Chains A and B, each alone.
Chain A
């Protein structure tokens, strides 16, 4: 009886397996390749140059130390060790931040219902990664991820310098009510002539009304200070800028 029963269940499960509606596989290779091309593989030449640079720095520091020990004046001479071009952000570092799916810029443009703004003429340049979420809010949400940039040092843990998020939503002072009650500092500031909010420190939750009028709970994706404001129906969020002035400068450059 047990055997008969087991055979019946096996047969049913086999039939059921053929009935499960599995969607067609989306093409992933192009987006993965784009992300990987931004990863710079260290060449042997690069490795040798790095070693050479390290040796040169050590030699320079030794000379400076010896000069100081011997009381040799080095007045007027300043040694500047440039940071050079920052390494591109490795793929996958922002994957677990709930930003959506990794896409190319063109894919992002066609996935959202608004014109994406980019910080033109700033040290940020092109984003390292672009993420899109079409689940929430209505009209989609785009996230521009930037790694280490001059003036915008990456967080050592997340390796992200700046994160800019854009989506259609209404925000107001009540969006941050809970935060204020919890003692988080939320400052009302001016951003491109509109009212914005500067939320200082921590990983915080807030809410907004999306284009359908539905209330959506959201969270800041990075630990750090955040500037959030609404402009022409589009809500924008800048996370990771070192100061309010830096965030406001980036906001002014968004076109």
Chain B
């Protein structure tokens, strides 16, 4: 792969990678750093790329691994109270038109943030990015069954909360 192909084919995936890294890190600067590192790794490993079936999933996998590494090193350096990380996540949301809609959006954000890590990743990859189940298997390095179970649980947790909101206005 030459530089031109890299620029035209790989670099445009930056937003997907960025969103995925942001999902883990909750901090745009950190996420940007991770994406940059991913691209450098992809470039250095470009010979391998011909063997990789789905290079985008491959990039996403690297993003995930680097993000997890970074989380680990951040946790080693300092322990952040969990509320703080939640706040950061909320800030990354763009404001919605009306306050009511904004409130509902915040509720959904909190609801999804409260999901277990794996479920959050799966629901992001499927419902935000629109990846196929096979691609999600590739990215998260888990089997199809795990993908489906996690997605099912995530969606059902969301559904239950939505039903409660509808019923009691909570």
A complexed with B: no
